Chain A
Amino acid sequence: MTTHTGRIGPAPRPRGAGVRIASGFTFALGLPFLCVVAWGIWSTRSTNQFFPGPVTIFEAFVDTWAGRAIVDDVLPSLSRLAFGLVASIVVGVAAGTVIGLARWLRELLEPLLEFFRAIPPPVLIPVGMLLLGPTDTMKVVVIVSGAIWPVLLNTIEGVRATDSVMTETANSFQITRWERLWFLVLPAASPRIMTGVRQGLSVALILMVISEMFFSSSGLGYRIAYFQRNYLVAEMWSGILLLGLIGVLLAVVFGFVERRVLRWYHGMREVTRA
């Protein structure tokens, strides 16, 4: 055969996308799976009633959360979280941009902001209770009172640190105020803003639960506290499991958004590092 060049050995098989995704899943879920198995083995030997086995909790999880509880507790919690987050991000970025751009305002507000940031937000729950009553608004306000700070302070810092040459470029080309905001200030601050949002996310989740534990009649925090008081241990653990899953979901969604918004930033950093 003249066309046959002869093979020296089997060509290395290119790994397909399916294989790569499968190995990614194995890595991501392998350790959690092992933990569940270890826990299952341990719980069969343990008689401690406060630590039920994974099967018991899984059953409680399905019984507790699949059904009316989604509408009664999960959705109210998630909507409070969503409102609180959106308000924190919108107000935090808007106020942070204004403060970051005006030097006098920054110097005026800095001590005050440090003071408010230092107050642990849960202590505002009794205050909110007095002023707003046991309403959804109170809970959203508590979430915002904690989650806004990382967003606000990071935005101020990001806006303040806008590169001087980039600003001078905008000046020399007489870029208008709104163009400057949209094409220079906000994108330049976006890596810091995303850092703030990431921190705000976990604070918001914590405050959502805490705000529901007091003076509440619905929500995940309320339900978990209720189970605990009534010694419904497996149900209580299932609520904690659900919170953990919500946290993971939030992180995944955030990661997706961050990769899109900061594609230029990660790309640039990769080029500089190479």
Chain B
Amino acid sequence: MPDRSTLLRVEHLRKVYESAAGEVEAIGDISFTMSAGELVCIVGPSGCGKTTLLKCLAGLLRPTSGLVEMDGSPVTGPNPTMAVVFQEYGRSLYPWLTVRANVELPLRHKKLSRAERDTLVADAIEAVGLPHAARSHPWELSGGMQQRVAIARAIAYQPEVLIMDEPFAAVDAQTRADLEDLVRELHGTRKISTVFVTHDIDESVYLGERVLMLSSSPTWVQEDLPIDLPPERDQLTTRALPRFTELRTHVYDQIQRAKRGSAAAPQSAH
């Protein structure tokens, strides 16, 4: 029997790309579950199919086999319970629309009154700290601010799961720290369940309540590690905790093993 609080269930997910050069197995066999309100980080060596996994979760790609279940019903395509924040903010925001119009666009087809829609948009823009930039165009803003707009667009959509695909890979280190705290804050205040894909080990440990470590391709879940750091996190003090160092060392070792391909394969693999 599935747990009542289980929000997202992934079972034996496998994805094979057909290409001219033959079949490429991007994802071997991934299974995990996620409870409502969790913040799960997915980390793995580069080229391990993180983005593929995420697109399967979001219904943007059909898995070759296996199951993605959201609230007990299978995910067969994009659906309103999920919102994606893409890595390439510059290509995901529409440059001909203002910040406000970008955030509003996905809400247009939802059956909301004008006032409700305005409230959602204003609230989301406020939550990411950009009310002064609502009338600007995305290209007038810095990279970090653009990614904030993308986050605002996702939370205004009111998804049950926020899916983030290496969202901060293209911004500088200081901006990145601010954005990480924004994600923690949004998760804390709004209880949004979040799947956060990253290749940055420190980031995964700092952000996550759980870290899923993926093997190299064909991918399976190498380890599912609970992060037992206090929920109140701070860039300075949390990162200075001995436990933080232990956890990041552990994750780092696992990823190195994954890269060497020396980790044991799971029994259930096809």
Contacts and interface: CB of A to CB of B under 8 A. Distances in A.
Interface in A176-212: 176, 179, 183-184, 187-188, 190
User: Looking at chain A, what size class is its interface with the partner chain?
Assistant: 20 to 34
Contact of B78 (A163, A171, A179, A265): A171
A271 interface: yes
B97 A183 contact: yes
Interface string B55-99: 000111000000000000000001110111010100110111100
A172 B139 contact: no
A164 to B, nearest CB: 8
Contacts of A171: 60, 78
B137 A264 contact: yes
A267 interface: yes
B94 A174 contact: no
B106 A175 contact: yes
Nearest to A262: B96
B24 interface: no
Given A174-B80, A179-B108, A165 B60 contact: no
A184 B94 contact: yes
B105 A179 contact: yes
B97 to A, nearest CB: 7
B196 interface: no
Nearest to B91: A165
Contacts of A271: 139-140
Contact of A176 (B94, B109, B137, B140): B109
Contacts, number: 69
Nearest to A272: B139
Contacts of A173: 78, 83, 105-106, 153, 157
Contact of B86 (A169, A179, A184, A265): A169
- The DSSP consensus for interface residues of chain A is helix
A268 interface: yes
A248 interface: no
Interface string B104-148: 011011000000000000000000000000000101100000000
Contacts of B157: 173
Contacts of A172: 58-60, 78, 82-84
A168 B137 contact: no
A169 B92 contact: yes
Most chain B Cβ neighbours within 10 Å, of A174, A188, A265: A174
Contact of B139 (A163, A179, A184, A268): A268
A184 B105 CA distance: 10
Contact of A168 (B86, B94, B106, B108): B86
Contacts of A174: 78-80, 106, 109
A166 interface: yes
A226 B60 CA distance: 65
B94 to A, nearest CB: 7
Contacts of B83: 172-173
B90 to A, nearest CB: 9
Interface in B145-165: 153, 157
A132 to B, nearest CB: 40
A174 B105 CA distance: 10
Given A173-B106, A268-B139, A166 B94 contact: yes
A173 B96 CA distance: 18
A268 B95 contact: yes
B8 to A, nearest CB: 16
Contacts of B88: 165
A172 B60 CA distance: 7
A168 B150 CA distance: 14
Which of B96, B97, B140 counts the most chain A CB atoms within 10 A? Answer: B96
A267 B137 contact: yes
Contacts of B91: 163-166
B240 to A, nearest CB: 37
- Going nearest first, the 3 A-B pairs with the smallest beta carbon separation are A173-B106, A165-B91, A187-B96
29 contacts: A164-B91, A165-B92, A166-B92, A168-B60, A169-B92, A171-B60, A171-B78, A172-B58, A172-B60, A172-B83, A172-B84, A173-B153, A174-B79, A174-B109, A175-B105, A175-B108, A176-B108, A179-B108, A179-B109, A183-B94, A187-B96, A187-B97, A264-B95, A264-B96, A264-B137, A265-B95, A267-B139, A271-B139, A272-B139
